[in-house]
């Protein structure tokens, strides 16, 4: 166990016993570092009312600082000078620069995301028409849970370079809208009053900013109205639930007040020009006269055949 395995230039050597002790120390120190980082995040930082994003940043800083202390301690225990890794570290840096460009790009982008915080944990974001909630910002990628329960794993560099919409970056207030069309002939002022009454009675709709009802347009088959309102959401399902509740209430109130929600319909008008009508009449007359001539000829042929049969009977 004490036989030298690796000889260094400075006259020192490393034996098998030292390697085993160093490996055991690294494993124990690694586990202790993870436990200490999580303990600091869960117990101490939570008591100080620090946000989840800052807790994760501090946990990772503590872990990497302890990891650096472990590396220096192991090298000191093995009597390995740091100058021995000067050439190796340079070669590794070049290899990492060329061979692991994307990994380093995502790693650096992860730290940028955690420092600038354009997205945070529990933020409601929209990316490529996909709506979801951020559940984890990692070193290499960010995980977003979509409204259908699927998880999107997006590289951090892609997240920084893409057009990302963060619905809750500043505050949880979100403006939403609902469109409805009523039949022509409906009392538009009554429709407006009903929509305002529905918005004012819904507890999830914020009173400030005030909701608004817009007479959008005269559509092909309906009078178009659009309702704008603000709501405070904590989950994505709340946004869909508020829209659903408002639509249920709109349908109910419109039925009670005999207001018809319009549906697509078309009026078809047939108009024939005089020349077309005359040509059609001539064709009908010509076809009728031709039919009468054919019927007359068929009748004469039938009479001739009857006379011939009578003559044949007499001769027989």
More confident residue, 68 or 200: 200
Q: What is the pLDDT of residue 5?
A: 62
Q: Is the pLDDT of residue 164 over 70?
A: yes
SS3 for the chain is CCCEEEECCCCCEEEHHHHHHHHHHHHHHHHHHHHHHHHHHHHHHHHCCCCHHHHHHHHHHHHHHHHHHHHHHHHHHCCCCHHHHHHHHHHHHHHHHHHCHHHHHHHHHHHHHHHHCCCCCCCEEEECCEEEEEEEECCCEEEEEECCCCEEEEEHHHHHHCCCEECCCCCCEEEEEEEEEECCCCCHHHHHHHHHHHHHHCCCECCCCCCEEEEEEECCCCEEEEEEEEEECCCHHHHHHHHHHHHHHHHHHHHHCCCCECCCCCCCCCCCCHHHHHHHHHHHHHHHHHHHHHHHHHHHHHHHHHHHHHHHHHHC
Q: Is the pLDDT of residue 21 over 70?
A: yes
Neighbours of 273 (CB within 10 A): 8
Report, as an integer, the average pLDDT of 142-147. Answer: 87
Q: What is the pLDDT of residue 12?
A: 63
Which of 258, 253, 260 is CA-nearest to residue 197?
253
Q: What is the pLDDT of residue 117?
A: 80
Give the C-alpha separation, 316 to 300, whole Å.
Answer: 25
Give the C-alpha separation, 114 to 54, whole Å.
Answer: 8
* Pairing of the two strands 124-127 and 165-166: antiparallel
Q: Is the pLDDT of residue 101 over 80?
A: no
Q: What is the pLDDT of residue 146?
A: 87
More confident residue, 147 or 9: 147
Say how many residues make up the chain. 316
Give the C-alpha separation, 124 to 98, whole Å.
Answer: 36
Which of 33, 25, 125, 115 is CA-nearest to residue 75?
25
Q: How many CA atoms lie within 13 A of 31 on its CB side?
A: 5
Q: Is the pLDDT of residue 275 over 70?
A: no
Give the C-alpha separation, 48 to 40, whole Å.
Answer: 11
Q: What is the pLDDT of residue 284?
A: 67
Give the C-alpha separation, 171 to 19, whole Å.
Answer: 54
Q: What is the pLDDT of residue 51?
A: 63
Q: Is the pLDDT of residue 4 over 70?
A: no
Lowest-confidence pick of 16-30, 183-197, 259-273? 259-273
Residues 31-87 have pLDDT tens digits of 888 888 777 777 766 666 666 666 776 777 777 788 878 877 777 776 666 665 555
Summary mean pLDDT of the chain: 77
Confidence bin at 192 (pLDDT 50/70/90): very high
Confidence bin at 249 (pLDDT 50/70/90): very high
What's the pTM? 0.52
Token pair of 24, please?
A: 């055991």
Of all residues in the chain, the percent with pLDDT exceeding 90 is 14
Report, as an integer, the average pLDDT of 17-43. Answer: 79
Give the C-alpha separation, 58 to 66, whole Å.
Answer: 12
Report, as an integer, the average pLDDT of 8-12. Answer: 59
Confidence bin at 225 (pLDDT 50/70/90): very high
Which of 251, 248, 253, 213 is CA-nearest to residue 229?
213
Q: Is the pLDDT of residue 166 over 70?
A: yes
Residues 282-315 have pLDDT tens digits of 776 776 665 555 565 555 555 555 455 555 555 5
């Amino acid at each position: 166990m004490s036989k030298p395995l690796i000889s260094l230039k400075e006259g020192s050597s490393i034996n098998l016993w030292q390697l085993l002790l160093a490996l055991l120390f690294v494993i124990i120190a690694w586990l202790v570092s993870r436990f200490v980082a999580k303990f600091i995040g869960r117990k101490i930082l939570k008591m100080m009312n620090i946000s989840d994003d800052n807790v994760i940043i501090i946990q990772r800083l503590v872990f990497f600082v302890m990891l650096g202390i472990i590396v220096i301690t192991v090298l000191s225990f093995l009597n390995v000078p740091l100058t021995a890794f000067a050439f190796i570290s340079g070669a590794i840096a070049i290899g990492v620069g060329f061979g692991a460009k994307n990994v380093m790009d995502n790693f650096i982008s992860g730290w940028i995301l955690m420092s600038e915080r354009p997205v945070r944990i529990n933020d409601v974001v929209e990316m490529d028409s996909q709506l979801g909630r951020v559940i984890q910002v990692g070193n290499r990628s960010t995980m977003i849970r979509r409204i259908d329960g699927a998880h999107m794993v997006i590289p951090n560099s892609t997240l920084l370079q893409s057009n990302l919409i963060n619905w809750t970056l500043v505050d949880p207030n979100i403006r939403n809208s609902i469109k409805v069309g009523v039949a022509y002939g409906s009392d538009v002022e009554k429709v407006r009053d009903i929509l305002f009454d529905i918005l004012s009675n819904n507890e999830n709709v914020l009173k400030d900013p005030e909701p608004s009802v817009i007479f959008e347009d005269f559509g092909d088959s309906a009078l178009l109205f659009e309702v704008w309102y603000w709501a405070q959401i904590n989950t994505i399902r709340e946004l869909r639930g508020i829209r659903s509740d408002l639509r249920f209430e709109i349908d109910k109130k419109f039925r009670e007040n005999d207001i018809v929600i319009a549906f697509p319909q078309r009026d078809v008008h047939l108009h024939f020009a005089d020349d077309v009508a005359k040509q059609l009449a001539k064709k009908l007359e010509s076809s009728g006269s031709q039919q009468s001539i054919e019927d007359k000829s068929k009748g004469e042929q039938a009479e001739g055949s009857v006379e011939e049969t009578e003559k044949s009977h007499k001769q027989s």
